[in-house]
């Protein structure tokens, strides 16, 4: 049923449950789950995300414009979805093998507000691509320049963006040297914890 296909797709996107496990739960073949996700995911993306103010956000540019208008500090984090292995001898097949998960995945970036409400899932790319690179291919640098008042919390994987946009992109502070004085280490721990507390909601962001 269509409702089952939607639920399966949401389980994959939100919880990253393996396709094989969902196939067992629903009593179908794994390929049926994969096909359902492939069919439903574009429908969800085309629908966009509803915001508390009403507008539907479809692109990363929409998110930045909304954040600028509402004074929202964004949270961004890379995530991955397991996918079937591309056919043998397909050009670029290795690009889907995630260096972190050691599986074939599709990588995307989740964007949420300070309350953990998802604003958009963007930059779907093959799993081997680095989180920051995936976001940069989506035009994040030009959007940060276009909307200078928009700020964002990100993890340590986005230090390059912080270097290029220090007033807008916040990442965890660099670890001090091992021989640093105790007060320096303590200050680093406090700053790291504060940044993590501001960012952590994106790792548990629920669909709008």
pLDDT digits (tens, 9 = 90+) for 44-98: 666 656 566 666 788 899 999 999 999 999 999 988 877 777 677 776 777 877 7
pLDDT at 208: 45
- pLDDT, tens digit, 9 for 90 and up, residues 10-24: 777 767 678 888 888
pLDDT at 57: 80
- pLDDT, tens digit, 9 for 90 and up, residues 131-182: 999 999 999 999 999 999 999 999 999 999 999 999 999 999 999 998 999 9
pLDDT at 8: 83
Q: Which of 104, 93, 167, 100 is nearest to 131 (CA)?
A: 100
């Amino acid at each position: 049923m269509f409702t089952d296909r939607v639920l399966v797709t949401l389980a994959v996107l939100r919880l990253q449950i393996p396709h094989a496990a969902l196939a067992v739960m629903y009593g179908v073949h794994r390929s049926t789950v994969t096909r359902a996700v492939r069919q439903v995911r574009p429908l969800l993306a085309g629908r966009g995300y509803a915001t508390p103010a009403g507008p539907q956000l479809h692109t990363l540019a929409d998110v930045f414009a909304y954040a600028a208008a509402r004074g929202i500090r964004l949270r961004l984090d890379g995530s991955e979805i397991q996918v079937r292995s591309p056919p043998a001898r397909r050009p670029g097949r290795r690009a889907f093998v995630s260096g972190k998960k050691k599986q074939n995945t599709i990588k995307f970036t989740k964007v949420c507000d300070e309350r953990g409400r998802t604003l958009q899932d963007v930059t779907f790319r093959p799993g081997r691509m680095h989180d920051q690179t995936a976001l940069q291919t989506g035009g994040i640098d030009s959007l940060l320049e276009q909307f200078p008042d928009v700020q964002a919390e990100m993890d340590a994987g986005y230090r390059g963006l912080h270097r290029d946009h220090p007033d807008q992109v916040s990442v965890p502070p660099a670890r001090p040297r091992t021989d640093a004085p105790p007060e320096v280490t303590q200050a680093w721990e406090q700053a790291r914890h504060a940044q993590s507390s501001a960012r952590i909601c994106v790792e548990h962001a629920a669909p709008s």
